[in-house]
Amino acid sequence: DPKISSGLNKLAVANSWYGQMFTRMQPTFAFLNAGRDTIERSFHLASMSTYDANGRLVEGSSLVGSYFANTGRAAKMLKSVMSGTADADSDAMRLWNEYVALGLHQEYTPGMDQSKRSLADVLAARQNPTGFVQKALSKPEHAKVRNALNALGRGKDAIMGVLDRWNDYFNNIAGFNEYVIMREAGIAPERAASNVLDSMNLTNKGTATPILQILYPFVKPTMSSAAALARSIGFVYDPRGFYKAGVNGWKYMLGATAALSMLKPLIEESLGDDPETGQSRLDAMSLSDLVRFLPIGIGGGDFVKFPLGYGPIQLVATMVYGTDRVQRGLMTPQDLAAEMVFTMG
The pLDDT value given to residue 118: 41
The pLDDT value given to residue 289: 86
- Tell me the average pLDDT across 17-34: 61
The pLDDT value given to residue 223: 60
Confidence tier at 326 by pLDDT (50, 70, 90): very high
Asked if pLDDT for residue 80 goes beyond 80, the answer is yes
Contact 334, 340 (CB under 8 A): no
Top-confidence range, 129-138, 221-230, 242-251: 242-251
pTM of the model: 0.61
Q: State what percent of residues in the chain have pLDDT above 90.
A: 30
Rounded to an integer, what distance in angstroms lies between the CA atom of residue 309 and that of residue 40?
5
The pLDDT value given to residue 70: 96
The region of weakest confidence among 137-146, 177-186, 187-196, 324-333 is 137-146
Strand ranges (E), 20-175: 49-51, 57-59
First to last CA, the chain: 32
Q: Which tens digits make up the pLDDT trace of 233-262? A: 766 666 666 566 677 778 878 888 899 999
Confidence tier at 193 by pLDDT (50, 70, 90): very high
Top-confidence range, 73-77, 122-126, 199-203: 73-77
**Which position has the higher pLDDT, 14 or 102?**
102
The pLDDT value given to residue 215: 47
The pLDDT value given to residue 221: 59
The pLDDT value given to residue 344: 58
The pLDDT value given to residue 277: 87
Asked if pLDDT for residue 75 goes beyond 90, the answer is yes
For residue 324, with 0-12 CB atoms within 10 Å meaning exposed, 13-18 middle and 19 or more buried, which class applies? middle
Asked if pLDDT for residue 185 goes beyond 80, the answer is yes
The pLDDT value given to residue 136: 57
Q: Which tens digits make up the pLDDT trace of 49-60? A: 888 989 999 988
Rounded to an integer, what distance in angstroms lies between the CA atom of residue 148 and that of residue 21?
25
For residue 59, what are the β-bridge partners? 49
What is the rounded average pLDDT for all residues in the chain?
75
Q: Which residues contact 229 (CB under 8 A, 6 or more apart)?
A: 311, 312
The pLDDT value given to residue 175: 92
